[in-house]
A and B are shown apart, each in its own frame.
Chain A
Amino acid sequence: MLISVASGKGGTGKTTVVTNLALALAGDYKVQVLDCDVEEPNLHLFLRPKVYATEEVTLPVPEVDGEKCILCGACSDFCAYNALALAREKIILFPELCNGCRGCTMVCPVGAIQERPHRIGVLHRGKAGEIDFVSGRLDVGKPLAPPVIKAVKEQDQGKGIRLVDAPPGTSCSMIEAVRDTQFCLLVTEPTPFGLHDLKLAVGVARILGIPFGVVVNKSTLGYTQVEDYCREEGIPILLKIPFQRHYAALYARGGALVSEYPEWERAFREVFLKIERLVRENARTASG
């Protein structure tokens, strides 16, 4: 089962949920975690994996052969990302804007374009105990996160439980991380900001047609509208984590709730059972 953990608002506890779910389930299932928050990956801080492989993530960017180029402008006209410009005597390339679609290579009438790999990030693979660990990191100054996220998701083992730690927000990056997952767990907090962004994230999950449920973190802060909203919309709340100073202290030390408190281990296992049930129900509704 491929489960994404997303949030809308940042800092609500996506990584906390992924960490605890992974640790709670690792004894009984084969578990793989995929940190797709490539602009700010932090899952390694909590799972502390032994990294055994690091590879570069690249995009194919064009390289124009000035000898062959006839300055026709076909490539720069074609480029939807404005990564190519035709100046007086040469084609200018802005690799930062290139999305690696290869269209320029295809439209060049004289075969003047070669492709070369342009590094935009790295991928780490490792093991945290029995948990298989994959994490992507976008290079500083590079604007394109989705290709790195895609590279992380290509490491999906395809069996057992796979948990995707999605980036915050509801932009291309979050969509890339959440798409094609079987269930989306939306982590929120009981604040007006949390609710506002939860609604946006719910909208994305609905458009993508992915069944979803909510985790309310810091649930005792007192703002009840988040739970009211879920009730009105018929959105299942799968877990509530109350705000406790010693939980925050544990988090700050890089610890996990399930390692310290057996009741939280049980709670996170139950979350998974609820997810399984919701996915089954959803499949039945879809096929019926």
Chain B
Amino acid sequence: MKIAVTAQGGDLKSPVDPRFGRSSYLVIFDDETQSFEALENPGQSVHGGAGITAAQELINRGVKVLLTGNVGPNAYYVLQEAGIEVYGVSAPTVEEAIEEWRQGKAQPLNSPSTGSHHGMGGRGCMGPGPGRGRG
């Protein structure tokens, strides 16, 4: 079974990134082969629909479990429809997060844990809140 962890870097020692859609990396661990692959999160660079993009990537790669910090409403809906289980983890690194989940200590997220656009650093053209600067 494949378990995905949102991460700030591309290996098992990397810190967990608490954002889902705009995390830097997705580290995907296969507990049957005990191997992992890391990919840059395709959601981090899109204007809108970051969480949806990241969720689609997990679906396409056959991931069954997601370990992260926060998931917004759109991404949560897609993950749920695809039958991917979502857990919130408090461990600092990817491998510790997987261990936390293995021991049954990870918290299942039964609803979106943030509002839309929570993890947005910059401002996209199409994003809300263009900063009107009214005097």
Contact = CB atoms under 8 A, between A and B. Distances in A.
A216 to B, nearest CB: 14
A168 B47 CA distance: 21
A12 B133 CA distance: 10
B134 A10 contact: yes
B20 to A, nearest CB: 14
B83 A88 contact: yes
Which bracket fits the contact residues of A?
20 to 34
Interface string B19-45: 000000000000000000000000000
B55 A169 contact: no
Contact of B135 (A9, A83, A87): A9
Interface of B: 46-50, 52-53, 55-56, 59, 74, 77-78, 81-83, 125-128, 130-135
Given A12-B135, A168-B133, A82 B48 contact: yes
Interface string A163-177: 000011101110000
Question: What are the nearest 7 A-B pairs in CB distance?
Answer: A82-B49, A11-B135, A87-B81, A10-B134, A11-B134, A87-B82, A10-B132
Given A97-B74, A143-B128, 13 more contacts: A11-B135, A76-B56, A85-B55, A85-B59, A87-B81, A89-B81, A97-B52, A143-B48, A143-B126, A143-B127, A169-B131, A173-B130, A189-B135
Nearest to A141: B128
A151 interface: no
Contacts of B83: 88
A88 B55 CA distance: 12
B46 A144 contact: no
A94 interface: yes
A82 B133 contact: no
A139 to B, nearest CB: 13
B59 A86 contact: yes
Interface centre among B50, B56, B125 (most CB of A within 10 A): B56
A193 B52 contact: no
A91 to B, nearest CB: 10
Contacts of B126: 81, 99, 143-144, 172
A40 interface: yes
Contacts of B49: 81-83, 94, 97
Given A85-B52, A94-B52, A143-B127, A168 B81 contact: no
Nearest to A82: B49
